[in-house]
Amino acid sequence: MKDSASRRGAVAVVLVGVFASSLDVLIVNIAFPDLERSFPSASLTNLSWVLSAYAITFAALLMPGGRWADQSGRKRAYLTGLALFTVASACCAAAPTLGVLVAARVLQGLGAALMMPSSLGLLLALFPSERRGTAIGLWTAVSGSGAALAPPIGGLLVQLDWRWAFLVNIPLGVVAWFVGVRTLPEVRERSRSVPDVLGILVLAATVAALVAAIVQGPDWGWGGPRVLGLIAVGLLGGAFTVRRAFRHPAPVIEPAILRIRVVALGNLATLLFFAGFGAMISASTLFLTGMWDHSVLRGALEVAPGPVVATVCAVPASLLATRYGVRVVGMCGGAVFAAGGVWWAVVTDGTPDYAASFLPGSVIGGIGVGLMLPCLSTAATLSLPPERFATGTAMNTMCRQVGSALGVAVVAAVLDARPGVSGYHTAFLIMAACGVAGGLALLAIGAERGRIPANGTALSAPATGRTV
> Residue 190, Cβ neighbours under 10 Å: how many?
8
For residues 304 and 294, what is the distance between their CA atoms, to the nearest angstrom? 14
Per CATH, the homologous superfamily of domain 253-468 is MFS general substrate transporter like domains (1.20.1250.20)
Residue 189: predicted pLDDT? 65
Residue 387: predicted pLDDT? 73
The rounded Cα 261 to chain-centroid distance in angstroms is: 22
For residues 260 and 396, what is the distance between their CA atoms, to the nearest angstrom? 14
For residues 138 and 43, what is the distance between their CA atoms, to the nearest angstrom? 41
Residue 436: predicted pLDDT? 97
Q: Do the beta carbons of residue 454 and residue 191 sit within 8 Å?
A: yes
Its sign, for the CA torsion 78, 20, 283, 54, is negative
Can 1-183 and 253-468 be said to share one CATH topology?
A: yes
> Residue 224, Cβ neighbours under 10 Å: how many?
14
Torsion, Cα 301 303 307 309, to 10 degrees, reads 100
For the chain, 468 residues long, the average pLDDT of each consecutive 10-residue run is 72 89 78 82 80 85 86 89 95 93 94 89 82 78 76 80 89 93 80 73 87 82 88 92 84 80 92 93 88 85 87 87 88 96 95 94 95 90 78 88 87 86 95 96 72 40 37
Q: How many angstroms separate the Cα of 282 from the Cα of each of 211, 233, 338?
A: 17, 28, 16
For residues 403 and 285, what is the distance between their CA atoms, to the nearest angstrom? 18
Give the predicted TM-score (pTM) of the model: 0.85
Residue 366: predicted pLDDT? 93
Instruction: List pLDDT tens digits, range 208-255.
Output: 888 888 878 877 888 889 999 999 999 999 899 888 888 888 787 878
Residue 355: predicted pLDDT? 93
Residue 427: predicted pLDDT? 95
Q: Which residues contact 348 (CB under 8 A, 6 or more apart)?
A: 287, 357, 358, 361, 421, 424, 425, 428
Q: List the domain boundaries for the chain.
A: 1-183, 197-251, 253-468
Residue 49: predicted pLDDT? 85
For residues 186 and 214, what is the distance between their CA atoms, to the nearest angstrom? 37
| Cα angle, residue 53 at apex, residues 48 and 57 outer, rounded to 5° | 155
Residue 3: predicted pLDDT? 63
Per CATH, the homologous superfamily of domain 1-183 is MFS general substrate transporter like domains (1.20.1250.20)
The rounded Cα 391 to chain-centroid distance in angstroms is: 15
* Residue among 221, 156, 183, 252 at smallest CA distance from 413: 221
| Cα angle, residue 324 at apex, residues 322 and 326 outer, rounded to 5° | 70
